[in-house]
Amino acid sequence: MHLRFARAISQIMTETPKMPPMKAAIIPVTPLQQNCSLIWCTKTMKAALTDPGGDLHKLKDGIAKAGVTLEKILITHGHLDHCGQAGMLAEELGVPIEGPHKDDLFWIEQLDSDGARYGMTAKSFTPDRWLEQGDTVTVGELTLDVIHCPGHTPGHVVFVHGPSKFAIVGDVLFQGSIGRTDFPRGNHQDLIDSITQRLWPLGEDITFIPGHGPTSTFGRERKTNAFVSDNALS
């Protein structure tokens, strides 16, 4: 079981050197190596899984290894590798699903057929709560802001914990790249606007976990990203 604790993130999630309010671990799942994030409140040890797309045995092992209690599942968007088995896990563990935005309903409704098409087990579900721009979600005593960032999909959301200067961005932004927009209802300009108008104002010191690949910071991407750096857009 591959459980990669995000050490750099834990270091910046610190109110005092001894006790960061939040910790995070990355558990890559599915053949696409999607970054399922396990985040938890260190005070209560209550946790959330973000985008449990598959490999449920790995996710349950990760929860046990971290010694936390899963409180809920958070979903950034409706693609197969991000939420194909979210409903199955929620049913098994008796936890609610929050997210994404309702504009991704059509993606969630076709999870069964998408799974069959790509040789992956998947099941559609109905979230317990759809999320909107400006909403918040809680994990233990943590409160994360919800940022609606359409473009990759129309209902994509990002989760931000301001005090920790930390974000889970799904497939909106990657180290050195951005999400694809050639899917149904994808929109390149919407994605650029989501990043530059809704993410960049949060600050260059935000560290983020993307849906795939290594972590980065908004500041680094503003300087070096081939698609959304300040130079690329000037």
**What CATH number does the domain containing 192 carry?**
3.60.15.10
Question: Which of 14, 21, 24 lies closest to 51, judged by CA?
Answer: 24
The residues with which 71 forms a beta bridge, in sequence order, are none
Task: Decide if 234 is inside a domain.
Answer: no
Q: What is the mean pLDDT of residues 32-50?
A: 97
How far from 76 is each of 221, 222, 226, 232, CA to CA, in Å? 20, 22, 23, 26
Phi, psi of 155 (to 5 degrees): -110, 20
pTM of whole model > 0.75?
A: yes
Task: Decide if 232 is inside a domain.
Answer: no
The reported pLDDT for the residue numbered 10 is 41
- For the chain, what is the domain count? 1
The reported pLDDT for the residue numbered 1 is 38
Question: Which of 89, 62, 61 lies closest to 74, judged by CA?
Answer: 89
- 3-class SS of residue 50: strand
* 53 contacts 82 by C-beta, under 8 angstroms: yes
Query: Mind listing the pLDDT tens digit for each residue in 122-174?
Result: 999 999 999 999 999 999 999 999 999 999 999 999 999 999 999 999 999 99
The domain of 102 spans: 4-226
Task: Decide if 233 is inside a domain.
Answer: no
Give the whole-number percent of the chain exceeding pLDDT 90. 92
Other Cβ atoms less than 10 A from the Cβ of 124: the count is 19
Task: Decide if 161 is inside a domain.
Answer: yes
Q: Which two tokens stand for residue 131?
A: 């999320």
The residues with which 41 forms a beta bridge, in sequence order, are 22
Question: Which of 9, 156, 6 lies closest to 83, judged by CA?
Answer: 156
